[in-house]
Amino acid sequence: MQYTHLGRTGLKVSRLCLGTMNFGAHTSEADSHAIMDQALALDVQFFDTADVYGWTPGEGVTEQIVGRWIAQGGGRREQIVLATKVYNDMSKEGQPDPNLARGLSARKIIACCEGSLRRLQTDCIDLYQMHHIDRECPFDEIWEAMETLVRQGKVIYVGSSNFAGWDIAHACGEAARRHFQGLVCEQSIYHLDNRMVELEVLPSCRHFGLGFIPWSPLGGGMLGGVLNKPKDGRRGAEGMADRIEAKRAQLEPYEKLCADLGEAPANVALAWLLSNPVVTAPIIGPRTAAQLKDAQRAVEIELSTETLAKLDEIWPGPGGEAPKAYAW
């Protein structure tokens, strides 16, 4: 496994990030624990989760699964870089709480951090990410809460997710005004078939020294070789057949290119992301330990300039960075 700095920080993280969104929802606890064990065996030490994962209102099911794995000991907590998120509604089912609804108030951040720490069975979160921008809450309040958690030793680094380029600039500017480290990374959707972040988000990350963590790097399975897979799992999911037909004109040359390279389509899609110097680590969400092991190959693939150009032809982006992508 290769490692890189998380943005401008001195923290080293693996070039693949283990996403846990399937844990508890589509993957059993036993299988989830096996996947995390396999991740450590493969030196994938960057783990990403969120308080809302598991999709049982207010329960933090996925964090609980990760926490019980950490509690087994054996140096598990010390070996991983642990990231989670705050923003979404954490009210209990049937007990709506306006101060636990979506948002980033200081009260919400502090309360949700304490909840995540309990569920994860740890004293400290390495990377605490705002899961979405909250334009109704001023950054003075947000940064005050984050600074408090950092001073208390409950959080080390702060990141964002699903922020626009101007949200990143605003957040970084307000943090600098307070002499606070502020954001160290952004997590957003990015894959060959969705390249909108190239307009302003990636340039913002590069300018402010943020790492970039792509989620859904395989486009919900579309870039994983769907044309030659049986119609089960994601291939058989509702609406997937329509998506495949809508993209067939691109999927066919894409999968042929991957076959000519002798590489699995999923690994080519990940290698394409890793070829971008702004990208820190794509989030992979395996449902089995075997899928995780297969993904390790992506780190070893070096795509040629010719191959990158062919991928651009098949999956054209927005035309570069703003404003040149649409003006001059």
Active-site amino acid positions: 53
Angular region, 313: left φ>0, alpha ψ -120 to 50, beta rest: alpha
Least Cα distance to 8 among 166, 150, 172 occurs for 172
Please provide residue 299's backbone torsions phi and psi, each rounded to the nearest 5 degrees.
Answer: -65, -25
How many residues would you count in the chain? 328
Distance of alpha carbon 135 from alpha carbon 64, whole angstroms: 30
DSSP string of 262-289, one letter each residue: TS-HHHHHHHHHHTSTTB---EE--SSH
Distance of alpha carbon 232 from alpha carbon 5, whole angstroms: 38
Least Cα distance to 16 among 298, 212, 308 occurs for 298
Least Cα distance to 68 among 44, 32, 101 occurs for 32
Q: Are 154 and 125 in contact (CB under 8 A)?
A: yes
Beta-carbon contacts of 11 under 8 Å, excluding residues fewer than 6 positions away, are: 5, 81, 126, 156, 157, 184
